Amino acid sequence: LIFSDEISYFRNDELIFANGNSRAIDNDVEIDANNFEYNNLSNIIYAKGNVKINNKKENYLIFSDEITYFKNDELIFTNGNSKLINDEVQIDARNFKYDKLNDIVYASGNVKINNIKENYLIFSDNVTYNKKLGKVFTKNNSKTISDGLLIEADTFHYYQNQNILEARGKVIIEDKIED
């Protein structure tokens, strides 16, 4: 189902353009945006302007200025002011790629991960978050804050299941707990 203030349908090309208060609903996924284009042949949605994806079955929200959703491949690319929220984490970044099949987020540009369940923050230029395997990898200008410790390094490898953080490159650890 598609709802919008204005819709143009190009039947020969199987293209739908929705302008103004647009919403697409497919089973448990709702996409809201100011405008979007849907290519029925390739099954690709491009949405722009206050984009929100609500996946009720998998329990996550995505917000961004723009998204491109390759539905057949289950890939979502965001561009600008991107945020992913699920029951465990909130990831903020300039852009990210979400591989739904493998449950991996590749985030870039002022990335911040707030893990509510494990109570830690991670900041970096680039982050790969593999939810299935419980692994977080960072690259460039990495910093984490957890339990009163501030750790800075070039890269992190964090293994959530074992609760092990490996920091590499110009590592600084500062205890922020006052005695």
Return the pLDDT at 179. Answer: 57
pLDDT greater than 90 at residue 178: no
The candidate with the shortest Cα–Cα distance to 137, out of 157, 120, 153, 152, is: 157
Q: Alpha-carbon distance 111 to 102, whole Å?
A: 20
Q: How many CB atoms lie within 10 A of CB 144?
A: 22
Distance CA 9, CA 17 (A): 7
User: Is residue 28 over pLDDT 90?
Assistant: no
Q: In this structure, are residues 63 and 81 in contact, taking their beta carbons and an 8 Å threshold?
A: yes
Q: State the pTM of this model.
A: 0.91
Quick one: pLDDT band at residue 72, thresholds 50, 70, 90? Answer: very high
CA 136, CA 19: separation in Å to the nearest integer? 38
Output the six-digit token pair for 126.
């680039």
